[in-house]
Amino acid sequence: MSQAEKIKEEIGWLKLVFAGFLAIDVSLVGWLAQHYKAAGIVLGTLAVVAIVAVTAVLVVVNRSAFKRMAKLENL
């Protein structure tokens, strides 16, 4: 397998991971928007922490994919 093909496969995998975490992030935001009054302080805080953590993972995966795309352009 050539280097370019390997990078393309990695980008494909990162797209899958990104989509999964995006679905989780959107679901958490939607849940919090619907249940912010009934959730209570502890559960609401945990939801916000989870949203921030998942969003941070999305940023890391996105940057990683873009680095691989730039690397692919240089080949």
**Strand, coil or helix: what is 38?**
coil
Longest dimension (CA), the chain: 54
pLDDT in tens, the chain (75 residues): 789 999 999 999 999 999 999 999 999 999 999 999 998 999 999 999 999 999 999 999 999 999 999 999 888
> Do residues 20 and 1 lie in contact, with contact meaning Cβ atoms separated by under 8 Å?
no
**DSSP letter (8 states) at residue 28:** H
Rounded Cα–Cα distance for residues 26 and 32 (Å)? 10
**Predicted pLDDT of residue 75:** 81
Using a 10 angstrom Cβ sphere, with 0-12 exposed, 13-18 middle and 19 or more buried, the burial of residue 61 is buried
**Predicted pLDDT of residue 74:** 86
